[in-house]
Amino acid sequence: MKTQTIFSLVFVALVALAACSKDDNNPVANDITLHFNNTFKNTPIVLGDAASSTATANTSAEGQVHHFSELKYVVSNIRLVKADGNEIPYHINDLDKGAIVVNHAKPQTLDYVLSNIPAGEYKQLKFGLGVKSELNTLDEVRFPDFYAAAGVNDTEMHWEWGTGYRFTKIEGFYGADHKTLSIHTGSTIAGEEGAYTQGVDAYRDITLDLGTHAVVGRNAPNITIKADFDKLLSGKTNTITLGDGNATPSVHTAANMVLFVDNLGGDGSSDLTGMFSISGVVN
């Protein structure tokens, strides 16, 4: 009887070990890394000051040569779409856990890890360029980490008037005489203090087909997202010539700000990709 009991215990232990091994071989979740590759067409961007000899220069459709000294944008509201069409949201209502300021000057911000993604095959990636209206307030208490990351001195993604976040912040120079290029986008407000309403909604929802499915499980895929800033002036929606009326945020109006927004993030109807595309998926 004692021998039978021992055999029974050994059998149970072996079954448990086999189950653990099976679980290890088939994890229920894993990570996905989003890598942001900022380019002019197919050339990786190098930042530089007005007289830089190493900064990557680009020529727009209208012939304006330009380069950037600063390049930042907010990504939030991330969703992954499985092969069967089911959509998996990633902390879509929590800016601390589900949003990032991509800062080209800080390589660590170019890779964003989505943790604990359910195992399966994914065919599509969706995300917001900017912050959706219901979260777009400078709430230091509710989202202290994102508030701090967006507001530190070398990021400055808070609007000075204090009602929301900048969605993109692009600084640079254009022309032979290095005139200032300074494009800031973000949603605006209308009305009087205490009774503000939504003005221009600069948030854009991006939808990208992955091509090759991202397979989560034993693998932790890496998805490279190309952000082609040639589209800033030479977009699918608008061809823009920089001048006194639109080159700096102190001059350009909400209406012509939308021209840049539609180029970078799409117009929300016929164009849902803007400057973004998928360069590759590594499983």
Q: The whole model's pTM is what?
A: 0.89
Q: How far apart are CA 264 and CA 252, in angstroms?
A: 16
The more confident residue out of 229 and 162 is 229
Would you state the pLDDT for residue 253? 81
Residue 114 lies in a domain: yes
Residue 3 lies in a domain: no
pLDDT at 9 over 50: no
Percentage of the residues of the chain whose pLDDT score is greater than 70: 87
Q: How far apart are CA 40 and CA 183, in angstroms?
A: 16
Would you state the pLDDT for residue 192? 62
- Which tokens is 142 given? 């509710």
Q: How many residues does the chain have?
A: 283
Residue 22 lies in a domain: no
Residue 156 lies in a domain: yes
Would you state the pLDDT for residue 194? 61
Residue 140 lies in a domain: yes
| Structural domain total, the chain | 1
pLDDT at 85 over 90: yes
For residue 277, give its domain range: 30-282
- Collapse the DSSP code of 238 into the 3-class scheme (helix H, G, I; strand E, B; otherwise coil) and give the result: coil
How far, in Å, are 29, 35, 87, 115 from residue 219 at the CA level?
A: 9, 16, 20, 13
Mean pLDDT of the chain: 89
User: Which ranges constitute the DSSP H helices of the chain?
Assistant: 2-25, 95-98, 144-151, 254-265
Q: Report the candidate in 279, 123, 136 with the shortest Cα–Cα distance to residue 199.
A: 136
Residues in Cβ contact with 24 at an 8 Å cutoff, skipping those fewer than 6 apart: none
Residue 234 lies in a domain: yes
Amino acid, single-letter form, for residue 104: H
- Which tokens is 174 given? 């254009």
Mean pLDDT on 98-110: 97
Instruction: Answer whether 124's CB lies under 8 Å from 209's CB.
Output: yes
Mean pLDDT on 42-66: 97
Percentage of the residues of the chain whose pLDDT score is greater than 90: 75
Would you state the pLDDT for residue 152? 84
Mean pLDDT on 144-156: 91
Q: How confident is the model at residue 199 (pLDDT cuts 50, 70, 90)?
A: confident
Amino acid, single-letter form, for residue 268: G
Q: What is the DSSP letter of 107?
A: G
Residue 111 lies in a domain: yes
Would you state the pLDDT for residue 190? 67
Would you state the pLDDT for residue 202? 94
Would you state the pLDDT for residue 21? 46
Residue 17 lies in a domain: no
